[in-house]
């Protein structure tokens, strides 16, 4: 059994954490498998969009207890964990491809961190989010463009329901538990109907702004966006999209 399943259909990839008996807790082998899956997605030019989810009753309960056990034995578990994350395109924030996360059940600790790396987020009604590190004598600091009070609530260890996460703008959609993958697939189909290079650059700019250590001056963002837009108007897909709009036909994109 693979700890992370990788499936591709046309231009859509689905990456599924597959350790349901342990609520998809992330052990060293899963950490490696996740990294390899995201590298595969990154390097496949024919893969345009990825859905990320967890099998069973939880998205992920976070770091497996083995990391904590090794830490008590004197191993630098945190250092090993963080060094591995740096090599993971998705988790490191260096992945320049669109992603949707479909959240079922718990998204705790590292699981919540994985949720916040995605561009778009769909959650089941029963999903809950928590960053419990302060209760274990550690801290995780993130902002994710949320209001400061909400970020403070999360990093202080409070549990957030799916509805509250939606209300504060942390996720895009809440759906019945048995519809979370259907909703993610529906969103994916909508995104794949867009001009792929335009979607790629639009989300990349937004992602770069979110991940920036400091805010970019607005005039630099405007200039960069304009230059990207000029380049997009010279692509085959742009011409195909315009022609399809004018002729009222379904476009066929080639990502070039």
Domain end (from 166, 191, 216): 191
Q: Please, what is the Cα angle at 63 between 61 and 66, to 5 degrees?
A: 120
Are residues 140 and 43 part of one domain?
yes
Are residues 229 and 152 part of one domain?
no
- Report the first-to-last Cα separation within the chain, whole angstroms: 37
Taking the CA atoms of 107, 109, 114 and 118 in sequence, report the sign of the dihedral they define.
Answer: positive
CA distance 117 to 93: 7
Walk along the chain (256 residues) in steps of 10 and give the mean pLDDT of each run: 95 98 96 97 97 97 88 80 89 93 96 95 97 80 80 93 96 97 98 94 89 67 77 84 85 88
Are residues 156 and 74 part of one domain?
yes
Contact between 31 and 82 under an 8 Å Cβ cutoff? The reply is: no
pTM greater than the 0.85 cutoff = yes
Residue whose C-alpha is closest to residue 127's, from 191, 51, 178: 178
Are residues 79 and 50 part of one domain?
yes
Are residues 240 and 144 part of one domain?
no
Residue whose C-alpha is closest to residue 60's, from 114, 100, 14: 114
pLDDT given for residue 215 in this prediction: 61
Are residues 72 and 153 part of one domain?
yes
Are residues 143 and 99 part of one domain?
yes
CA distance 43 to 73: 38
Residue whose C-alpha is closest to residue 132's, from 118, 161, 111, 115: 111
Q: Please, what is the Cα angle at 44 between 42 and 46, to 5 degrees?
A: 125
Quick check: is 253 in a domain? no
Are residues 216 and 180 part of one domain?
no
Are residues 208 and 139 part of one domain?
no
Q: Domain count of the chain?
A: 2
Contact between 62 and 108 under an 8 Å Cβ cutoff? The reply is: yes
43: CATH: 3.90.226.10
The residue written with tokens 């997009």 in the block is: 232
CA distance 229 to 238: 10
- Sequence-distant (≥ 6) Cβ neighbours of residue 32 within 8 angstroms: 84
Widest Cα–Cα separation across the chain: 68
The helix or strand, by DSSP H or E, that contains position 42, with its residue range, turns out to be helix 28-43
Taking the CA atoms of 135, 140, 141 and 143 in sequence, report the sign of the dihedral they define.
Answer: negative
Residue 95 burial (10 A CB sphere; 0-12, 13-18, 19+): buried
Are residues 98 and 220 part of one domain?
no
pLDDT given for residue 143 in this prediction: 67
Domain of 213 in residue numbering reads as 194-247
pLDDT given for residue 141 in this prediction: 75
At 100, is the secondary structure helix, strand, or coil?
A: strand
CA distance 39 to 42: 5
Are residues 201 and 180 part of one domain?
no
Starting at the edge strand found earlier in the chain, the sheet holding 12-17 runs 4-9, 12-17, 49-54, 99-103, 120-124, 173-175
Domain end (from 172, 191, 210): 191
Residue whose C-alpha is closest to residue 102's, from 174, 160, 210: 174
Are residues 153 and 34 part of one domain?
yes
């Amino acid at each position: 059994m693979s700890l992370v399943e990788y499936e591709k259909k046309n231009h859509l990839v689905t990456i599924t954490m597959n350790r349901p008996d342990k609520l998809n807790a992330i052990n060293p082998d899963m950490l490696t498998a996740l990294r390899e899956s995201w590298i595969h997605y990154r390097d496949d030019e024919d893969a345009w969009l990825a859905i990320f989810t967890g099998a069973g009753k939880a998205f992920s309960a976070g770091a497996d207890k083995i990391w904590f056990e090794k830490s008590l034995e004197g191993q630098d578990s945190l250092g090993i964990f963080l060094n591995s994350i740096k090599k993971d395109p998705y988790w490191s924030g260096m992945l320049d491809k669109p992603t949707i996360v479909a959240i079922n059940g718990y998204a705790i600790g590292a699981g919540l961190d994985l949720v916040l790396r995605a561009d778009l987020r769909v959650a089941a009604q029963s999903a809950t989010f928590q960053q419990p590190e302060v209760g274990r004598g550690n801290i995780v600091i993130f902002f994710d463009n949320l209001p400061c009070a909400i970020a403070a609530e999360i990093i202080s260890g409070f549990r957030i329901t799916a509805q509250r996460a939606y209300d504060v703008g942390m996720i895009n959609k809440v759906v019945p538990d048995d519809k979370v993958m259907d909703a993610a697939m529906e969103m994916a189909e909508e995104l794949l109907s867009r001009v792929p290079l335009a979607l790629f650059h639009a989300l990349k700019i937004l992602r770069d702004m979110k991940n920036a250590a400091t805010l970019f001056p607005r005039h630099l963002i405007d200039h960069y966006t304009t230059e990207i837009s000029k380049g997009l108007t010279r692509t085959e897909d742009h011409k195909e999209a315009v022609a399809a709009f004018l002729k009222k036909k379904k476009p066929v994109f080639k990502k070039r």
